[in-house]
Amino acid sequence: MLGSDLEWFTTLAETENVSAAADRLHLAQPTLSRMLARLEHRLGVALFDRHGKRIRLNDYGRLYYEHARRARAELHAGEQAVADRLNPAKGVVRLSFLHSFGGGLTPQLIGEFRRGSGRVDFTLFQGAAEVITRQVLDGEADLALVSPRPGEPGLGWRTLLNQPVVLAVPGDHRLAGQRQIRLTELGDAEFITMHPGFGMRRIFDELCAAAGIRPRIAFESSDLVTVRGLVAAGLGIGLVPLEEPAPPGVALVPLADAGASRDVGLIWSATATPSEAVRRFRDFAGEWAARRHTR
């Protein structure tokens, strides 16, 4: 399987819907079905279980998909390497980042970088920390902005900034205006936090474990904006990175707990050879962080 073959199979595997995949690929459904039948005949095994009009990857299909996905990423990297050699001044950076970085850090870095490297293009993806870390390891993203630092092997890391983690409470809460607080004082509170797999959820779980409390979780979200909104509505309290000014209806209380902060950084595959555009953006991010540190 090369080129377009990888595209149609991985698209079908990711949608598990012949109609949706055919529309995305601009193919007729019977054509896509015949392509799949030929592939399964060549492999000697069905890759999908059929349930009426629906299909679902089976064990063989998931195994084959993992290899096809990595092969697709390698081919894309090869195409980019050739493009970089043809025109080093132009390039593409595949950048993944946490949702919470979409309103500030990511556009700030890209904007400042492109003012000096205007011909570099960016492909952007937002997701949970576990998802975008896996994208980098699998070669589907060149770089990712994450927090906290992932523990998986095979990753390069560059710290860009450190943010205090604070307690967010409704503006009229009894703790609003308090100088600081410890998590041990909040054992009976109802918390609003991120879903498992997100960076702030990992920090929340680690801080609660260190404080020896088992938090009561009222709501889980995949977006820090939603967490702050639920706090403002009086539905619980939460831990959030410090931002100035505080969101409307929310008061931020400093935490006295050790380790109540999050490192924000850039990750990349330690084994992949970066393109010229990726290397330049990575170096720029390091210089940007150094300038912030000296202010």
User: At the top level of CATH, which class does the domain 1-70 belong to?
Assistant: mainly alpha
User: Where in the chain is CATH 3.40.190.10?
Assistant: 85-160+263-294, 163-260
What's the CATH number for 163-260?
3.40.190.10
Instruction: Identify the CA nearest to 122 among candidates 146, 106, 101, 100.
Output: 106
pLDDT confidence of residue 88: 57
pLDDT along the chain (295 residues), means of 10: 75 88 88 92 93 86 90 78 66 90 90 83 90 90 93 93 93 91 91 92 94 94 90 95 80 93 94 87 93 72
pLDDT at 275: 85
SS3 106: helix
Residues of the chain within CATH 1.10.10.10 domain(s) are 1-70
Domain 85-160+263-294 has CATH 3.40.47.10: no
pTM, rounded to two decimals: 0.66
**H helix runs in the chain, sequence order:** 4-15, 18-25, 29-43, 59-86, 105-116, 129-137, 199-211, 224-232, 276-294
* The pLDDT value given to residue 2: 58
